Structure 1
Amino acid sequence: MSTQADHGRELVPRPEHTPEALRAALAVVDPGRLGEMQAMKDEAFAKAVEWQSLSPVQSWVLTWARDIEIARRPDLSARHARAKGNLEDEDPVTAREALRELSAVLDEAMKAVRG
C-alpha cells in the first residue's frame, strides 16, 4: 500500500482499538511518534494498576485512535496542520478561528473512531 494518497483518501484502513493495531497503523502514518506512543502506553498501564481502573488504558486507546484517524486521512491532517500553525497568529481573529478549526478536527476524528 502506498503512503501517498490523493486528498481525502485514507493512507491506511482505520485500525482496530488494540495496542498492536494502533502501533502498526502509527508506524505507517507517523512513525516519528512511536516513542511517544510507547511512553504514554507505559504511563497509562501504570496508572491503571495504581488506580485499579481501566480508564487510563481506555483513554490511551481513544487518544491514539483519534490521532491516527487524523494522520491517516490527508483531509483531516491538512486541516489539523493549518489550524495548529495558526494558533499563535498575531491576529486574534485568525488565532480564534484556528482554535475553532482545531477543535472541529479533533471532534470529527473522535466521532469517527467512536463510530
Structure 2
Amino acid sequence: MSVPHAESVGPLVPKPDLTLPALRQAVAVVAPSRLPGFFEDMQRAFVRAGDEGSVVPIRMFYREWGVVVEIARHPRIAARLRAAEAALDSDDPEVRDRAVREAGEIVRAAHREVAGG
C-alpha cells in the first residue's frame, strides 16, 4: 500500500471502523512505530475485560486507538500536535498555555470525530 506524501491535503487512510482488524491496519499505515504499544494496550484491555466480566475496557481500547489514528491519519494535524507537545518544554508560560490549549483542541476534536459527531 502506498502512502501519500505527508504534505497532501487529505487523510492518509480512510477513517477506520472501531474494530481490531481495522484499527490494527490503520495503525500499521499511519503510525507503525506505535504497533507494539497498540498490542500491549490490546492485551491489557482484553485481560481487564476478562477480569471484570465487562466489554467496557475493550470499547475504551477501541476508542483510545481510534483517536490515535484519527490524529495520525491527518499529517498536518499530527504535526500541530507534535509542535504543541514540544512547546510544553518552553520556559515561557504563555507558550506553554497556548500549547496546552492547542493540544487539547486537537485531542477533543479527534474524540468527537471518533464518537461520530
TM-score interval for Structure 1 and Structure 2 normalised by the shorter chain: over 0.9
The TM-score with structure 1 as length reference comes to 0.94
1:90 aligns with 2:97: no
SS at match of 2:3: coil
Counterpart of 2:53? Answer: 52
Unaligned runs of at least 5 residues, structure 2: none
Counterpart of 1:6? Answer: 7
1:71 aligns with 2:72: yes
Cα offset, 1:63, TM superposition: 0.5
SS at match of 1:88: coil
Code of the aligned partner of 1:96: D
The TM-score with structure 2 as length reference comes to 0.93
Q: Percent of aligned positions with the same letter in both sequences?
A: 34
- CA–CA separation in structure 2 for the residues paired with 1:81 and 1:35: 20
1:33 aligns with 2:46: no
- CA–CA separation in structure 1 for the residues paired with 2:110 and 2:4: 19
Q: Does the 8 Å CA contact 1:3/1:28 hold for their aligned counterparts?
A: no
Cα offset, 1:75, TM superposition: 2.4
Q: Does the 8 Å CA contact 1:12/1:25 hold for their aligned counterparts?
A: yes
SS at match of 1:3: coil
Code of the aligned partner of 1:3: P
Code of the aligned partner of 1:22: L
